[in-house]
């Protein structure tokens, strides 16, 4: 992963974490509700992985926001 990609994934993860926390959702419960692993969510929120589109759709649905709100910053 190059530097630009890494920065993008860090921003994406920070955005997801911010939106999750604004809704008062803890990581474990939110991951369960989205049908993804807690470790996977942790890795996404910390910019350590490139999430699949289906995973981002599940997260957006769980946050009740359009997918665009996650990736457009």
**Domain definitions of the chain by residue range:** 3-62
Which region among 1-5, 49-53, 56-60 has the lowest average model confidence (pLDDT)? Answer: 1-5
Query: In the numeric block, which tokens belong to residue 56?
Result: 């981002």
Among 10, 19, 7, CA closest to 68: 19
Q: Evaluate whether the domain defined by 3-62 bears CATH number 1.10.3470.10.
A: no
Contact partners, residue 55, CB within 8 Å, separation at least 6: 36, 40, 44
1, pLDDT greater than 80: no
Cα(55)–Cα(35) distance, integer angstroms: 9
How much of the chain is helix, strand and coil, in % rounded to 5?
A: 70, 0, 30
Position 73 confidence tier, pLDDT thresholds 50, 70, 90: confident
Give me the pLDDT at residue 72, please.
87
Global confidence as pTM: 0.92
Contact 63, 72 (CB under 8 A): no
């Amino acid at each position: 992963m190059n530097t630009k990609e890494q920065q993008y994934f860090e921003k994406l993860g920070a955005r997801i974490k911010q939106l999750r926390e604004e809704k008062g959702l803890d990581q474990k419960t939110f991951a369960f509700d989205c049908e993804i692993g807690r470790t996977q969510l942790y890795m996404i929120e910390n910019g350590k992985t490139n999430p699949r589109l289906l995973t981002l759709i599940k997260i957006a649905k769980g946050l009740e926001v359009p997918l665009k709100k996650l990736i457009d910053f």
